[in-house]
Amino acid sequence: MTDKTELKYTAEHEWLRIDGDVATVGITAYAADKLGDVVFVELPTVGAGVTSGTVVGEIESTKSVGELFAPVNGTVTEINDAVVGNPELVNSDPFGEGWLIKVSFTELPTLLSYDEYTALVGE
């Protein structure tokens, strides 16, 4: 079980687990709940350069299509093939098996703490 208070968050409803210079990125339970049942996930390719704030993938649900934004500048080092094959992992375990990408970065932007994020979404 992930301790959500140790993660960092974006206003776009993504979470980051920082390990050295690699950020594991996923969407929050709040975002997964708002999307509804996720049926398709499109992720960037390994080795792709990403720029903070730009769209790097899509998450489609029975209700809508959501965009995945890069939370940092860097290079995609890994994608979660399990989520591509089983998109429902985004709903069932958004902070664990439902992670989306890992990005190697050189500098972290200003991110939200758990308390700041929960205040943002009113939880």
Instruction: Please state, in angstroms and rounded to a whole number, the distance separating the CA atoms of residues 76 and 59.
Output: 17
pTM, two decimals, is 0.94
Instruction: Please state, in angstroms and rounded to a whole number, the distance separating the CA atoms of residues 84 and 69.
Output: 17
Nearest to 59 by CA among 34, 37, 84, 40: 40
The amino acid present at 32, given as its one-letter code, is A
- Give the other-Cβ count within 10 Å of 98's Cβ: 23
pLDDT in tens, the chain (123 residues): 578 999 999 999 999 999 999 999 999 999 999 999 999 999 999 999 999 999 999 999 998 999 999 999 999 999 999 999 999 999 999 999 999 999 999 889 999 999 999 999 997
Instruction: Please state, in angstroms and rounded to a whole number, the distance separating the CA atoms of residues 43 and 119.
Output: 29
Nearest to 113 by CA among 28, 10, 19: 10
Domains and CATH numbers, the chain: 9-107 (2.40.50.100)
